[in-house]
Chain A
Amino acid sequence: MSLLTLENVTLKFGGLVAVNNVSFHVGEGEVFSLVGPNGAGKSTVFNLISRFYDPFEGDIRFQGDSILKMRSDQVPSLGIARTFQNIELFEQSTVLQNLLVGRHRHRKSNLVSEIFFAPSVRDEERRHRAVVEEVIDFLELQAFRDKYIAGLPYGVRKVVELARALATEPKILLLDEPASGLSVEETQDMIFWVEDIKKQMGITVLMVEHDMSLVAAASDRVLALADGKELAIGTAAEVQSHPAVIEAYLGTGGRASDE
């Protein structure tokens, strides 16, 4: 069953066509990767799904319903969580507080009950904490629980971003370059986590990634984009050997004088 569907989505910034008539669907329980050279429009697709941008044309549907009428802060309440390419954590807060912000979409208390910290708020806080602790256990962040983000190394911040997205208990997880800037070992961990997220938690994953080891190991299907256009779709091996993809990455092989 298709969880997330993009239909003929086009986005223009002035004369620049960032995303050109892109259509794909992500099935439930699938790991779907977007690959392509820099400026191909991968992150822009993410920002379209997060509703930071309005598409020029086309429709984005989640579980069959169009999300184009929603504000960007309503999208997470559907069960769409995301990470950012350039880490966007709350730097002056601890890891724990960051993950608890991830629980915001489950907030039931209101202003008045929070000012008086009513027993219901306390119970809710305990429940949020229990979910967050599960995520902390899963991603092995115990040692960093009370550390401030501002003092954490890059690799850990990447994991905290993933943890915060998981804390929202999403149906689909959008990972924007989860392995960028990570060491080989950290990338290995990321591969296991993405697999576990899919298999144990049953969360669908849509990711943008340059690291082909992660893409090849974790994804079920891969879509290659270049200059906002779809090039090829299929398994990692199929896409990697597709002539249009090779051309986009490496050029046509002709000499400069031939052009």
Chain B
Amino acid sequence: MRFVFKRSYDADIKLFKHRPQALWYLALFIFVLALPWLVDEFFLGEATNVLIWAIAGMGLMLLVGHAGQASLGHAAFMAVGCYTNIIMIERGVPFLISFPLSGIIAGFVGVLVALPVLRLHGIYLAIATLAVSVLSDDFIVILEPWTGGVTGLVAPNIDIFGLEIDRYGTPVEFYFLTLLVTLAVLVGYRNLLRAPLGRAFTALRDSEISAQAMGVNIRRTKAIAFGISCGVTGLAGGLLGYYATAFNNETFNLVLSIQLLLMIVIGGLGSIHGAFFGAIVIGFLPQFIAITRDGISGVLGLGSVTIPGIESGVFAVILISFILFEPLGIYGRWIKIRTYFELFPFYRKNMFKRQKSFLKTERMR
């Protein structure tokens, strides 16, 4: 077990707890930088997909995992980001302006949606945001002059000062663009969590009544959480538009919202790691299942015979087993394994049991 000797308050403010941890993340950073030269174009595309999921996951994680507000409507905000970006590009706005702006617009739409539903809690909030997700489909169809309705839009190549980025033509550049956005969001997220606002978010999640008694403006803080969350998700939506190259009202349907929520639950609520772990599962699992299936039918000599729906079936089973057997998600499992080795042989099985033995004052509402 490692003991970190803290010599100043900065030890608790720094991004990395100790040097070995920083070195591990540096190694990971070098790995993702070198990835285009390690894998072929197909897997690089999949890695880009995972990063886009991770950005959306971080957006949702901030809202659900840290601020404690459920949302089943985040596909709608991905759609807002995606459509506003492409609509602006089509009208001649340069990418470097339109892309951040689309995130900001998605954030504002998020705040607008949040304001009326802020008084709702838990399952009621989830239902209200679910309605947003359902409505977004209709709005895209109604706003046909801009959105192209059911025909959808086609994302043109990204143009940054003459540098053309195309998801198929220049996958490496597109990967690095996505990586850059991921890192920017990641650093901002980490900074927020160690600042007063991030603590206000977790305060909101754990006890609204006492957050209020500590001077946290509940309505405003929730609105800000929605704003940031939807803004980041909007950025992911913008990238998803380029990744999918063509999209319409069905790209951002309810299933996407549910997948987003599942992703962060599987990854582990309340940690940035969870967003990434979840993204890896959601992003890679369908491919993994497809490859395994092909492998198995090859071994068994089944040829190209496939059982329809087997992929979504296996996918669903894996997701359900996670929720049943590891509610803390992949990150929670990882923490448990790490603690086991750190404390060996003193690890106790019930160390991570949640206890809810004390009364709450929430009935005051």
Interface of A is mostly: helix
Binds A, one of B49-57, B205-213, B293-301, B316-324: B205-213
Residues of A within 8 A of B209 (CB): 52, 84, 88
* Cβ < 8 Å to B, chain A residues 114-137: 114-117, 121-122, 124-126, 128-130, 133
Q: B9 and A76: CB pair below 8 A?
A: no
Residues of A within 8 A of B215 (CB): 73-77, 104-105, 168
Q: B202 and A93: CB pair below 8 A?
A: yes
A105 to B104, CA, bound (A): 28
Q: In the complex, how many residue pairs between chain A and chain B have their CB atoms under 8 Å apart?
A: 126
Q: B205 and A129: CB pair below 8 A?
A: no
Q: B9 and A92: CB pair below 8 A?
A: no
Q: A86 and B197: CB pair below 8 A?
A: no
A101 to B214, CA, bound (A): 7
Least Cβ–Cβ distance between B241 and chain A, in angstroms: 24
Give A142-175 as 1s and 0s: 1 = Cβ < 8 Å from B's Cβ atoms: 0000000010001001000000100010000000
A117 to B146, CA, bound (A): 38
* Cβ < 8 Å to A, chain B residues 193-211: 194-200, 202-203, 205-207, 209-211
Interface of B is mostly: helix
Q: B359 and A86: CB pair below 8 A?
A: yes
Q: Is B217 an interface residue (CB 8 A)?
A: yes
* Cβ < 8 Å to A, chain B residues 1-25: 9-10, 12-13
Give B180-204 as 1s and 0s: 1 = Cβ < 8 Å from A's Cβ atoms: 0000000010011011111110110
Q: Is B346 an interface residue (CB 8 A)?
A: no
Nearest opposing residue in chain B for A51, CB measure: B212
A21 to B96, CA, bound (A): 64
A96 to B11, CA, bound (A): 13
Q: B196 and A93: CB pair below 8 A?
A: no
Given A101-B211, A129-B9: A117 touches B358 (CB 8 Å cut-off): no
Q: Is B354 an interface residue (CB 8 A)?
A: yes
Q: A89 and B197: CB pair below 8 A?
A: no
Residues of A within 8 A of B158 (CB): none
A252 to B81, CA, bound (A): 72
Q: Is A20 an interface residue (CB 8 A)?
A: no
Among B10, B196, B213, B354, the residue within 8 A (CB) of A150 is B354
Q: Is B349 an interface residue (CB 8 A)?
A: no
Among B13, B203, B228, the residue within 8 A (CB) of A122 is B13
A212 to B198, CA, bound (A): 41
Among B10, B191, B214, B228, the residue within 8 A (CB) of A105 is B214
Q: Is A5 an interface residue (CB 8 A)?
A: no
Number of interface residues of A (CB under 8 A): 51
Nearest opposing residue in chain A for B217, CB measure: A73
Q: A116 and B191: CB pair below 8 A?
A: yes
Q: B217 and A89: CB pair below 8 A?
A: no
Q: Is B270 an interface residue (CB 8 A)?
A: yes
Given A76-B213, A125-B9: A90 touches B191 (CB 8 Å cut-off): no
Q: Is A102 an interface residue (CB 8 A)?
A: yes
Q: B202 and A125: CB pair below 8 A?
A: no
Among B191, B192, B216, B228, the residue within 8 A (CB) of A104 is B216
Given A101-B214, A111-B224: A89 touches B207 (CB 8 Å cut-off): yes
Q: Is B360 an interface residue (CB 8 A)?
A: yes
Q: A92 and B270: CB pair below 8 A?
A: yes
Given A101-B214, A125-B9: A47 touches B359 (CB 8 Å cut-off): no
Q: B364 and A115: CB pair below 8 A?
A: no
Q: A125 and B195: CB pair below 8 A?
A: yes
Q: A71 and B217: CB pair below 8 A?
A: yes
Q: Is A109 an interface residue (CB 8 A)?
A: yes
Least Cβ–Cβ distance between B2 and chain A, in angstroms: 14
* Cβ < 8 Å to A, chain B residues 44-65: none
Interface residues of A (CB under 8 A from B): 47, 50, 52, 71-77, 81-82, 84-93, 96-97, 100-105, 107, 109, 111, 114-117, 121-122, 124-126, 128-130, 133, 150, 154, 157, 164, 168
Q: Could you write out 13 A-B pairs with CB less than 8 Å apart?
A: A52-B209, A84-B210, A90-B202, A90-B207, A90-B210, A101-B211, A104-B200, A117-B195, A125-B9, A125-B195, A129-B9, A168-B214, A168-B215
Known: A91-B206, A101-B203, A125-B194. 9 other contacts (CB 8 A): A71-B217, A88-B361, A90-B203, A92-B205, A92-B270, A101-B216, A111-B197, A114-B195, A116-B188
